[in-house]
Amino acid sequence: MSVSTVASREAGAFDQHESYNIYRQPFPFERANRFTNQLRWARWLTSSRSPDFDVLHCGNIRPVGYAVRWANRKLGVPYLVYVNGGDLLRERRKSARSAVKRKTAQSIFGHASGIVATSKWVAQLASEVMAEVGIEEPPPVAALDLGTDPANFNPSRDTGALRRRWGVGDAPIILTVARLVPHKGQDMGIRALAMLTRDFPELRYIMVGEGHDELRLRGLARELGVSDKVGFVGPMRDDELPRWSSLGGARWRDRHHRPADRRRRHRRRDSCAAAEPGAAKANGPRRASRGRDPLQLGSCRQGHA
């Protein structure tokens, strides 16, 4: 398996710990949606510089979908599109406003060998969006609820290393592992901490992850008088993930943009779609003449590939 993704300042520290090949494009997430960079990515995929592959795992509808569809059209290589609720809702809005977006959505979805959804609700939404953009014979949609491997994520993994690194000792912990963006709801975790501090003075809130909402969250913690009880510890490597799952305490999950009946259990690691190295290898049809392995493509803000 190989991964193709965008450039990142944290790439060096992250990539060296991974067991698979990571091929980074020469542009960051913020410029991945530019037409010239989409074309550059597509040409790289179909060039001799890319690794051999027999199936593509497309982690984002846009901008990665353009490059994947190009490779599919030029090489005949099959691909799967991984979708989540946020991406599909944005796609619905874009396609309703723009005939060009509607046409490209038709192409990206319509030529896929399959759609991989993160829940039954997301699978239903994917089917609705494909119908709305005019796909008469949509590809199959699989609803694969996210989860963890109990062999890796279990209490025996707790070595105390993370508690020592974070300086929290034996204090009870509220823990979040997610990008620091508004819709993830870490602000509600800070507010909950402030309400609980009187009864649980040792309680701490640890946020694993990074994102553009960090300054606002730090300001909120100061405003509520709990900045000394909130830890912003940055991103976490894959090999460290089983350790945090064994810490005990409370895992905070809140989504501002979803009704309560649509909230689902998610993977204990919040990452960017198929940029996630743990995605399953798909046994797609071997129609490409140049490949041996799957290639995953995704664009994300973090250093993760």
Residue 162 has pLDDT above 90, yes or no: no
User: pTM score, two decimals?
Assistant: 0.67
- pLDDT for 130 equals 97
| Residue 66 CB partners (closer than 8 Å, separation 6+) | 38, 41, 42, 104, 108
Distances (CA, A) of 212 to 170, 218, 252: 30, 11, 19
Q: What is the pLDDT of residues 234-292, one digit of tens each?
A: 887 777 777 776 665 555 555 554 443 343 333 323 323 333 322 222 333 222 223 33
- Residues 296 and 57: beta-carbon distance below 8 Å: yes
CA–CA separation, 5 and 270 (whole Å): 17
Do 2-146+271-297 and 155-262 share a fold?
Answer: yes
pLDDT digits (tens, 9 = 90+) for 37-46: 999 999 999 9
pLDDT given for residue 252 in this prediction:
58
Domain ranges across the chain:
2-146+271-297, 155-262
CATH fold group of domain 155-262: Rossmann fold (3.40.50)
Q: Does domain 2-146+271-297 bear CATH number 3.40.50.720?
A: no
| Cα–Cα distance for residue pair 95/117, rounded to 1 Å | 19
Q: Is pLDDT of 34 > 70?
A: yes
d(CA 183, CA 198) in angstroms, rounded, equals 27
Q: What angle do CA 264, 270, 275 make, to 5 degrees?
A: 115
User: Is the previous residue joined to 201 through a cis bond, with omega within 30 degrees of 0?
Assistant: no
Is 272:305 a contact under the CB 8 Å cutoff?
no
**Nearest CA among 84, 17, 29, 25 for reference residue 236:** 17
